[in-house]
Each structure stands twice: as structure tokens, then as C-alpha cells.
Amino acid sequence: MTFLIAQEAGATAVAEGAVRAGGLQGFLESMGMMPVMILVFAIFYFMLIRPQQRKDKERRKQIEALIAGKRIIFAGGIIGVIKETKEATFKVEIANGVVVEIARGAVNRVLEEGEAVSADEKN
């Protein structure tokens, strides 16, 4: 019982302090930055987060659509041809008779028919 009385007295003191320190006007002044913060978050979302989510979604679709016979570059910069697809991996031929198994997430990009590797990917 004593605890409840002390708690109510503390809450009353805090409320009275807020009224003395500016009350509603102080509250509104502190909320003045809220719309600016919301606007900054919205700008970051639409300029940074959302485009990255789109790229990730496109990449996932591209990897899911890969079939045997496609040329790919995977994370280490190695170029190969998919020989077999599994649920979580690909078997990729990187040289005549050399087949390695790689995770689907290691695929960097798909090379189109006859496409050469660009100079920035060679380094």
C-alpha cells in the first residue's frame, strides 16, 4: 500500500514538473523534430533500402531460374558452366573434366551466350 502511494506521488510530481517546465508548449517543441526525422527515414527507405531489396529479389529469381548449360561467374571470380542443379548447390565444370560443387549463393552473375568478361571483373 505504501508503495502505491509513493508511486502515485512520484507520478504527480513528474506531471507537475512537466507543467512547470513548459507543459504543452514544451511537448510540442520537442515534437517539432519528429516530422523531420520521419521525412529523413522515408528518404533513406526509398533511396537506399527499397532499391537494394529489389536487386536482391531479382538476383534470387535469376539464381532460381538457372539450368544446366548456363555460363556463370561465381564469387571467387571463377567462370564455369553448370552441369547439374541441385536444391542448394550447382555442379559446375570449370575446366575440361574438372567439376566442382558450389552453393547457389556463390553465383555472382550469369553470362549470356558469347558474352566476354569485362575488365573490372578480370582484376
CATH number at 110 reads: 2.30.30
Boundary of a domain, candidates 12, 31, 62: 62
C-alpha cell at 11: 507520478
Residue 71 three-state SS: strand
Are 6 and 57 in a shared domain?
yes
Q: What is the dihedral of CA 79, 85, 88, 89, to 10 degrees?
A: -30
pLDDT at 60 over 80: yes
- Total residue length of the chain: 123
Are 87 and 55 in a shared domain?
no
Q: Do residues 110 and 62 touch, judged by C-beta distance below 8 A? A: yes
Range of the domain at 22: 2-62
Are 29 and 49 in a shared domain?
yes
Counting the structural domains of the chain, the total is 2
Full-model pTM:
0.56
Residue 73 three-state SS: strand
Boundary of a domain, candidates 12, 27, 62: 62
pLDDT at 53 over 90: yes
Are 31 and 71 in a shared domain?
no
C-alpha cell at 1: 500500500
pLDDT in tens, 83-120: 999 988 999 999 999 999 999 888 888 888 777 776 56
Boundary of a domain, candidates 40, 62, 84: 62
Residue 53 three-state SS: helix
